[in-house]
Structure 1
Amino acid sequence: MDEKQLFALRLQAALTAAGYECRPSVLEREFNLRYWGAPITFQAVRRWLRGDSIPSQDKLQVLAGWLGVEPQFLRYGQQSSQDRGEMQATWVIPVGGEEDEVLRIYRGLTEEQRKILRQVVLTFARANGLQPEDTEGSS
Protein backbone atom coordinates (compact mmCIF):
# COMPACT_ATOMS: atom_id res chain seq x y z
CA MET A 1 0.00 0.00 0.00
CA ASP A 2 1.22 3.49 -0.76
CA GLU A 3 1.13 6.45 1.64
CA LYS A 4 -2.13 7.81 0.19
CA GLN A 5 -3.94 4.54 0.78
CA LEU A 6 -2.52 4.31 4.30
CA PHE A 7 -3.70 7.88 4.95
CA ALA A 8 -7.19 6.89 3.74
CA LEU A 9 -7.27 3.97 6.18
CA ARG A 10 -6.22 6.19 9.09
CA LEU A 11 -8.79 8.83 8.13
CA GLN A 12 -11.54 6.22 7.91
CA ALA A 13 -10.54 4.79 11.30
CA ALA A 14 -10.47 8.28 12.88
CA LEU A 15 -13.91 9.09 11.47
CA THR A 16 -15.33 5.85 12.82
CA ALA A 17 -13.66 6.31 16.21
CA ALA A 18 -15.10 9.83 16.45
CA GLY A 19 -18.59 8.46 15.77
CA TYR A 20 -19.05 9.61 12.18
CA GLU A 21 -20.12 7.62 9.15
CA CYS A 22 -17.25 7.08 6.76
CA ARG A 23 -18.96 8.71 3.78
CA PRO A 24 -17.77 11.57 1.55
CA SER A 25 -20.96 13.58 2.14
CA VAL A 26 -20.47 13.41 5.91
CA LEU A 27 -16.79 14.32 5.68
CA GLU A 28 -17.47 17.20 3.29
CA ARG A 29 -20.21 18.69 5.48
CA GLU A 30 -18.38 18.34 8.80
CA PHE A 31 -15.03 19.50 7.43
CA ASN A 32 -16.49 22.61 5.79
CA LEU A 33 -18.20 23.57 9.06
CA ARG A 34 -14.77 23.78 10.66
CA TYR A 35 -12.53 25.04 7.86
CA TRP A 36 -12.32 28.78 7.22
CA GLY A 37 -10.65 28.52 3.82
CA ALA A 38 -12.41 27.78 0.56
CA PRO A 39 -14.89 24.93 1.02
CA ILE A 40 -13.71 21.54 -0.15
CA THR A 41 -15.72 19.58 -2.67
CA PHE A 42 -17.36 16.20 -2.46
CA GLN A 43 -14.85 14.97 -5.05
CA ALA A 44 -11.88 16.13 -2.94
CA VAL A 45 -13.01 14.29 0.17
CA ARG A 46 -13.87 11.25 -1.92
CA ARG A 47 -10.25 11.23 -3.14
CA TRP A 48 -9.07 11.41 0.48
CA LEU A 49 -11.25 8.47 1.51
CA ARG A 50 -10.29 6.39 -1.53
CA GLY A 51 -6.57 6.94 -1.06
CA ASP A 52 -6.14 8.96 -4.25
CA SER A 53 -4.81 12.09 -2.53
CA ILE A 54 -3.70 13.53 0.80
CA PRO A 55 -4.97 16.94 1.95
CA SER A 56 -2.66 19.90 2.43
CA GLN A 57 -1.21 20.57 5.89
CA ASP A 58 -3.78 23.23 6.82
CA LYS A 59 -6.58 20.79 6.04
CA LEU A 60 -4.80 18.02 7.97
CA GLN A 61 -4.70 20.34 10.98
CA VAL A 62 -8.46 20.89 10.79
CA LEU A 63 -9.17 17.17 10.31
CA ALA A 64 -6.94 16.28 13.25
CA GLY A 65 -8.46 18.88 15.56
CA TRP A 66 -11.99 17.83 14.66
CA LEU A 67 -11.35 14.07 14.94
CA GLY A 68 -9.25 14.31 18.10
CA VAL A 69 -6.03 12.93 16.64
CA GLU A 70 -2.66 14.45 15.93
CA PRO A 71 -1.91 15.70 12.41
CA GLN A 72 1.23 13.58 12.16
CA PHE A 73 -0.82 10.50 13.03
CA LEU A 74 -3.21 11.16 10.14
CA ARG A 75 -0.40 11.95 7.74
CA TYR A 76 2.26 9.45 8.77
CA GLY A 77 0.64 7.03 11.22
CA GLN A 78 2.79 8.13 14.12
CA GLN A 79 1.74 9.19 17.56
CA SER A 80 3.77 11.70 19.54
CA SER A 81 6.06 10.30 22.19
CA GLN A 82 4.07 12.07 24.91
CA ASP A 83 0.73 10.66 23.76
CA ARG A 84 0.84 6.90 23.31
CA GLY A 85 -2.55 6.35 24.95
CA GLU A 86 -5.73 8.23 24.15
CA MET A 87 -5.26 10.78 21.38
CA GLN A 88 -6.35 14.35 21.94
CA ALA A 89 -6.93 17.36 19.72
CA THR A 90 -3.79 19.42 19.17
CA TRP A 91 -5.67 22.69 19.53
CA VAL A 92 -8.87 24.00 21.01
CA ILE A 93 -10.60 27.22 20.08
CA PRO A 94 -12.71 28.38 23.00
CA VAL A 95 -16.07 29.67 21.85
CA GLY A 96 -18.71 31.36 23.91
CA GLY A 97 -21.42 33.97 23.92
CA GLU A 98 -22.11 35.47 20.53
CA GLU A 99 -19.67 33.17 18.71
CA ASP A 100 -21.36 30.10 20.16
CA GLU A 101 -24.78 31.40 19.09
CA VAL A 102 -23.57 32.15 15.56
CA LEU A 103 -21.89 28.75 15.17
CA ARG A 104 -24.97 26.95 16.50
CA ILE A 105 -27.20 28.76 14.00
CA TYR A 106 -24.69 28.26 11.17
CA ARG A 107 -24.58 24.51 11.76
CA GLY A 108 -28.37 24.37 11.52
CA LEU A 109 -28.43 25.94 8.05
CA THR A 110 -28.62 23.98 4.83
CA GLU A 111 -25.43 23.51 2.84
CA GLU A 112 -26.52 26.09 0.29
CA GLN A 113 -27.34 28.63 3.02
CA ARG A 114 -23.92 28.06 4.63
CA LYS A 115 -22.20 28.69 1.29
CA ILE A 116 -24.09 31.97 0.86
CA LEU A 117 -23.35 33.05 4.43
CA ARG A 118 -19.69 32.22 3.95
CA GLN A 119 -19.55 34.48 0.91
CA VAL A 120 -21.18 37.29 2.91
CA VAL A 121 -18.61 36.89 5.70
CA LEU A 122 -15.73 36.84 3.20
CA THR A 123 -17.10 40.00 1.57
CA PHE A 124 -17.19 41.78 4.94
CA ALA A 125 -13.67 40.54 5.72
CA ARG A 126 -12.28 41.84 2.43
CA ALA A 127 -14.10 45.16 2.84
CA ASN A 128 -12.38 45.57 6.20
CA GLY A 129 -8.91 44.78 4.90
CA LEU A 130 -8.81 41.18 6.08
CA GLN A 131 -7.51 38.83 3.42
CA PRO A 132 -8.76 35.28 3.96
CA GLU A 133 -6.52 32.59 2.55
CA ASP A 134 -7.44 31.83 -1.03
CA THR A 135 -7.26 28.05 -1.21
CA GLU A 136 -9.85 27.56 -3.94
CA GLY A 137 -9.16 24.44 -5.95
CA SER A 138 -6.66 22.86 -3.55
CA SER A 139 -7.44 19.64 -1.77
Structure 2
Amino acid sequence: METTNEKLRQEFSLRLKKELERMGLPLSSPTRIAAEFSAKYPRNKIAAQTVRKWLFAEAIPTQAKLLALAEWLGVSEQWLRFGTGRRRSSKVDNAGGVQAEFGVVVVGKNQDAVVPVVELLAKLSPKNVRLVENMVRCVLASQDEDN
Protein backbone atom coordinates (compact mmCIF):
# COMPACT_ATOMS: atom_id res chain seq x y z
CA MET A 1 0.00 0.00 0.00
CA GLU A 2 1.35 3.42 -1.01
CA THR A 3 1.71 6.20 1.48
CA THR A 4 0.40 9.65 0.70
CA ASN A 5 3.96 10.98 0.25
CA GLU A 6 4.81 8.24 -2.24
CA LYS A 7 1.69 9.01 -4.24
CA LEU A 8 2.46 12.76 -4.23
CA ARG A 9 6.01 12.10 -5.45
CA GLN A 10 4.76 9.81 -8.22
CA GLU A 11 2.15 12.28 -9.40
CA PHE A 12 4.70 15.14 -9.35
CA SER A 13 7.13 12.98 -11.32
CA LEU A 14 4.50 12.27 -14.00
CA ARG A 15 3.71 15.98 -14.40
CA LEU A 16 7.41 16.84 -14.56
CA LYS A 17 8.11 14.19 -17.19
CA LYS A 18 5.20 15.39 -19.32
CA GLU A 19 6.47 18.97 -19.27
CA LEU A 20 10.09 18.03 -19.94
CA GLU A 21 8.95 15.98 -22.94
CA ARG A 22 6.87 18.93 -24.14
CA MET A 23 10.03 21.05 -24.05
CA GLY A 24 11.89 18.42 -26.08
CA LEU A 25 14.26 17.43 -23.27
CA PRO A 26 15.35 13.78 -23.10
CA LEU A 27 14.10 12.04 -19.96
CA SER A 28 16.96 9.60 -20.38
CA SER A 29 19.50 12.39 -19.71
CA PRO A 30 19.20 13.89 -16.23
CA THR A 31 22.64 15.40 -16.83
CA ARG A 32 21.40 17.46 -19.78
CA ILE A 33 18.24 18.51 -17.94
CA ALA A 34 20.28 19.60 -14.91
CA ALA A 35 22.76 21.50 -17.10
CA GLU A 36 20.06 23.41 -18.97
CA PHE A 37 18.15 24.22 -15.78
CA SER A 38 21.32 25.30 -13.95
CA ALA A 39 22.42 27.49 -16.88
CA LYS A 40 19.11 29.35 -16.75
CA TYR A 41 18.90 29.46 -12.94
CA PRO A 42 22.48 29.70 -11.61
CA ARG A 43 21.22 30.55 -8.11
CA ASN A 44 19.25 27.30 -8.01
CA LYS A 45 21.72 24.92 -9.62
CA ILE A 46 20.80 21.25 -9.53
CA ALA A 47 22.78 18.06 -10.00
CA ALA A 48 21.91 15.26 -12.38
CA GLN A 49 21.32 13.05 -9.33
CA THR A 50 18.64 15.50 -8.13
CA VAL A 51 16.86 15.36 -11.50
CA ARG A 52 17.06 11.56 -11.44
CA LYS A 53 15.39 11.53 -8.01
CA TRP A 54 12.59 13.75 -9.30
CA LEU A 55 12.09 11.59 -12.40
CA PHE A 56 12.02 8.35 -10.38
CA ALA A 57 9.64 9.81 -7.78
CA GLU A 58 12.22 9.56 -5.01
CA ALA A 59 12.07 13.26 -4.10
CA ILE A 60 10.21 16.52 -4.66
CA PRO A 61 12.09 19.82 -5.18
CA THR A 62 12.56 22.34 -2.42
CA GLN A 63 10.28 25.36 -2.67
CA ALA A 64 12.96 27.57 -4.27
CA LYS A 65 13.77 24.97 -6.90
CA LEU A 66 10.09 24.23 -7.48
CA LEU A 67 9.41 27.93 -8.20
CA ALA A 68 12.31 28.11 -10.68
CA LEU A 69 11.34 24.77 -12.24
CA ALA A 70 7.74 25.88 -12.74
CA GLU A 71 8.89 29.15 -14.32
CA TRP A 72 11.29 27.27 -16.62
CA LEU A 73 8.53 24.88 -17.69
CA GLY A 74 5.95 27.66 -18.06
CA VAL A 75 3.50 26.11 -15.63
CA SER A 76 2.08 27.25 -12.31
CA GLU A 77 3.86 26.18 -9.15
CA GLN A 78 0.65 24.83 -7.65
CA TRP A 79 -0.11 22.68 -10.66
CA LEU A 80 3.43 21.32 -10.88
CA ARG A 81 3.60 20.46 -7.17
CA PHE A 82 0.04 19.32 -6.47
CA GLY A 83 -1.73 18.96 -9.82
CA THR A 84 -4.34 21.53 -8.78
CA GLY A 85 -5.15 25.02 -9.97
CA ARG A 86 -4.30 26.37 -13.39
CA ARG A 87 -1.72 24.44 -15.33
CA ARG A 88 -0.29 27.36 -17.28
CA SER A 89 1.50 30.24 -15.65
CA SER A 90 0.61 33.82 -16.54
CA LYS A 91 3.52 36.04 -15.64
CA VAL A 92 5.32 39.06 -16.95
CA ASP A 93 8.42 38.00 -18.83
CA ASN A 94 11.87 39.64 -18.67
CA ALA A 95 11.27 41.56 -21.91
CA GLY A 96 8.22 43.28 -20.45
CA GLY A 97 5.67 41.20 -22.34
CA VAL A 98 2.84 39.34 -20.69
CA GLN A 99 2.39 35.65 -21.34
CA ALA A 100 -1.27 34.78 -21.24
CA GLU A 101 -2.86 31.45 -20.32
CA PHE A 102 -3.31 30.57 -23.98
CA GLY A 103 0.30 31.20 -25.05
CA VAL A 104 0.18 34.72 -26.52
CA VAL A 105 3.12 37.02 -25.88
CA VAL A 106 2.84 40.81 -26.26
CA VAL A 107 6.29 41.99 -27.27
CA GLY A 108 6.12 45.78 -27.32
CA LYS A 109 8.15 48.16 -29.48
CA ASN A 110 9.86 45.41 -31.53
CA GLN A 111 6.64 43.54 -32.22
CA ASP A 112 6.66 44.09 -36.00
CA ALA A 113 10.12 42.53 -36.27
CA VAL A 114 9.49 39.72 -33.79
CA VAL A 115 6.06 38.43 -34.90
CA PRO A 116 7.26 36.78 -38.16
CA VAL A 117 10.04 35.01 -36.23
CA VAL A 118 7.59 33.80 -33.58
CA GLU A 119 5.27 32.48 -36.30
CA LEU A 120 8.15 30.44 -37.72
CA LEU A 121 9.15 29.19 -34.27
CA ALA A 122 5.59 27.99 -33.67
CA LYS A 123 6.03 25.56 -36.57
CA LEU A 124 9.12 23.91 -35.02
CA SER A 125 9.17 20.80 -32.87
CA PRO A 126 9.85 21.39 -29.14
CA LYS A 127 13.35 19.96 -29.59
CA ASN A 128 14.15 22.40 -32.40
CA VAL A 129 12.68 25.31 -30.44
CA ARG A 130 15.17 24.52 -27.66
CA LEU A 131 17.97 24.41 -30.24
CA VAL A 132 17.01 27.85 -31.58
CA GLU A 133 16.69 29.17 -28.01
CA ASN A 134 20.25 28.05 -27.27
CA MET A 135 21.53 29.68 -30.46
CA VAL A 136 19.81 32.95 -29.54
CA ARG A 137 21.36 32.79 -26.06
CA CYS A 138 24.81 32.42 -27.65
CA VAL A 139 24.21 35.41 -29.93
CA LEU A 140 23.00 37.49 -26.98
CA ALA A 141 26.06 36.55 -24.94
CA SER A 142 28.30 37.57 -27.82
CA GLN A 143 26.35 40.81 -28.24
CA ASP A 144 26.78 41.61 -24.53
CA GLU A 145 30.54 41.07 -24.86
CA ASP A 146 30.69 43.48 -27.80
CA ASN A 147 28.92 46.27 -25.87
The TM-score normalised by the length of structure 2 is 0.56
The percentage of counterpart residues that share the same residue type is 33
Going from structure 1 to structure 2, the CA distance change for 1:79 and 1:17 (only over 3 Å counts) comes to farther
The TM-score normalised by the length of structure 1 is 0.58
- 2:24 is aligned, of 16, 19, 26, to 19
Q: Could you say what secondary structure the match of 2:42 adopts?
A: coil
Unpaired runs of 5+ residues, structure 2, are 1-5, 97-136, 143-147
Kept in 1, the 8 Å contact 2:30–2:48? The answer is: yes
Kept in 2, the 8 Å contact 1:69–1:90? The answer is: no
What do residues 24-73 of structure 1 show as CA deviations (whole Å, max 9, x unaligned)? 12220111012232521111111011100000111111111111111111
Going from structure 1 to structure 2, the CA distance change for 1:24 and 1:12 (only over 3 Å counts) comes to same
Unpaired runs of 5+ residues, structure 1, are 96-102, 109-139
- 1:104 is aligned, of 133, 138, 145, to 138
Q: Equivalences for 1:1-139 in 2 at 5 Å?
A: 2-22=7-27, 23-37=29-43, 39-80=45-86, 87-88=88-89, 90-94=91-95, 104=138
- Post-superposition shift, 1:106? 9.2
Kept in 2, the 8 Å contact 1:66–1:89? The answer is: no
Q: Which amino acid aligns with 2:9?
A: K
Q: Which amino acid aligns with 2:138?
A: R
- Per chain length, whose mean CA-contact separation is higher, i.e. which structure has more relative contact order (CA < 8 Å, sep 6+)? 1
Distance 2:45 2:39 in 1: 9
Distance 2:74 2:63 in 1: 16
Distance 2:55 2:75 in 1: 17
Distance 1:21 1:60 in 2: 20
Q: Which amino acid aligns with 1:4?
A: R
Going from structure 1 to structure 2, the CA distance change for 1:10 and 1:72 (only over 3 Å counts) comes to same
Structure having the higher Rg:
2
Going from structure 1 to structure 2, the CA distance change for 1:36 and 1:89 (only over 3 Å counts) comes to farther
